[in-house]
Chains A and B, each alone.
Chain A
Amino acid sequence: MTAIPLAQQFLNLFAALLLLIAFAMLSQRRVLSLIRLFAWQGAILTLSIADSAWLTHQPHLYYSAVLTFVIKVLILPWLLHRLIRRLNVVWDVETLLNIPTTMLVGIVLVVFAFNLALPIAQLSNTILRNTLGIALASVLLSFMMMITRRKAVPQVIGFLALENGLFLAATSTTYGMPMVVELGVALDVLVGFFIFGIFFFQIRETFDSLDIRHMEKLKED
């Protein structure tokens, strides 16, 4: 076991931390803390990508690490902060969320994801294959976070976290996507975020609230 190189150990640790953050996000009620957690997730993802770049000697991974850092640790959290301040939802707290049950479902998802990843990981011969299960689990967890949230901003954060999970999955199976794809995805995320932001203002104009339950009223009977 001691034969595993240190960088590899760090990679595992980062992956585990990402999962930990995914769970923390699942059980976090405050919007402000969610944004902070999201920034941390981005930071650890950056470290993880940089580490795998060093481990596999793939220089283009360094670029994507830098890209991740700029977009996910600096720009997006800053934008989110601005957004919630402008929307006046800084102290928003979600109510009515049975956290133990949610986390229990989360655990089931993790077991499922791990076992799903096992055969794929055995096929893939990259050194990073162990983290695939974790990446898959964080994708599923973020998805669940989007489902369980009622307020719009946490849902968007869930969406962004989902993208983080996908990114990790991509690095761990194929040593990262081609640069063009990565740039495209990064741009997509940014554009998506702006569109969401515009929507939020519109939603609030219409309903005086960001509670997406109000959207149910739009349904014609």
Chain B
Amino acid sequence: MKASALAFQLVQSLLVLLLAPLFLGWVDQCRAWLQNRRGAGVWQPYRTLVKLFYKEVVLAHDASPLFRVTPYVLFGCMALTATLVPMVATDLPLAGAVDVIALVGILALARVFLALAAMDVGTAFGSLGARREMLVSFLAEPALLMVFFTAASLSASTSLSTIVTVLTHRGFFLYPSLAFSGVAFLMVLLAENGRIPVDNPETHLELTMIHEAMILEYTGRHLALIEWAQGLKLLAYVGLGLALFFPFGMTESGDWWALPGALLAFILKLIFMGAGLALLETLSAKQRLFRVPEFMGGAFLLAVLAILIHYLLGA
């Protein structure tokens, strides 16, 4: 049992690590289709990664060790996060090490490192990006925590495995509070992954960029690690969203016979989610930066409302 659960953990880890760029490619491809472009194909992120990995790293003269360590920290944090989110199976053996609060903590750790690294070289864009990133996150992070708290109140646990197990095993049950936190979660997902209403992953225009401004100085394998980490982060967020709001079709770890079905369900859900994300991004316009605090404040308050609703309606 124990060994088989560990094997499950290993399978999921490898799966997410390899799948993350593909998901990124799928979202980009969907967006290209929606914008009447042919697109580069779903395998493009892999090609970019390979290209970057084999390139030489060019460091700024004043780059400190912190700058060089950050891509690895970022990658490690995101890989761990993506590994621990229940995607195909609940009750993974290592999932107990990190509950939802700690998960938010790891994401914050990665973010703080990235923001610091952006300020390290001392360029105008770097510190601008760091400031904006922290601006977005100081409201997004509590919003995410409140979303988790609602789910935690529903299942009387902050452990992600237990939450998902409780939510799946209750059969069909409508949770009004989850409707609120679902909206809030979506807003946080968009903001934290540098998606359209908040940030545009495709622009290098100083008026708008947030994430890109922070990683301007990164090259070669460092940049590849950051891009990969970014893909893992998006996958982890989408996986979290699926686990909290559409947990159907998951298996328990150790149950090998149910694995193919769960895998299929997961991939279908991902395809659907990726297309939805692309659609959402195509339909909405990039907000002015000053509107972003309002957007995030809205997410935070919605998440708070979700908890209130939970207390009133008991569901």
Interface residues of A (CB under 8 A from B): 1-2, 4, 6, 9-10, 12-13, 15-17, 19-20, 23, 27, 99-100, 103-104, 106-107, 110-111, 114, 130, 133-134
Known contacts being A12-B315, A107-B308, A134-B312, is A17 close to B176, with CB within 8 Å? yes
Contact A23 B302 (CB under 8 A): yes
Given A1, A19, A103, A114, which contacts B301 in the complex, CB threshold below 8 Å? A103
A110–B305 CB distance below 8 A: yes
Residues of B within 8 A of A20 (CB): 179-180, 183, 302, 305
* Chain B positions within 8 Å of A106 at CB level: 301
Q: A9-B315, A13-B174, A23-B302 are in contact. List 4 more A-B contacts (CB 8 A).
A: A2-B171, A12-B174, A110-B305, A114-B308
* Residues from chain A with Cβ under 8 Å of B304 in the complex: 107
Chain A residues in 8 Å Cβ range of B173 = 1-2, 9
Question: CB-CB < 8 A to B171: which residues of A?
Answer: 2
In the bound complex, what is the Cα–Cα distance between A9 and B176 (angstroms)?
A: 8
In the complex, the number of residue pairs spanning A and B with C-beta atoms less than 8 Å apart equals: 72
Contact A103 to B308, CB < 8 A, known contacts A13-B179, A20-B183: no
Contact size class for B? 20 to 34
Which of B177, B305, B311, B315 has a CB less than 8 Å from the CB of A23? B305
A114 to B177, CA, bound (A): 15
Nearest-neighbour CB distance to chain A for B54, whole angstroms, equals 47
Q: Are B298 and A103 in contact (CB under 8 A)?
A: yes
Q: Which residue of A lies closest to B308 (CB)?
A: A110
Q: A100, B301: Cβ atoms under 8 Å?
A: yes
* Residues on B with beta carbons closer than 8 Å to the beta carbon of A107: 301, 304-305, 308
**A60 vs B171: C-alpha distance in the bound complex, in angstroms?**
33
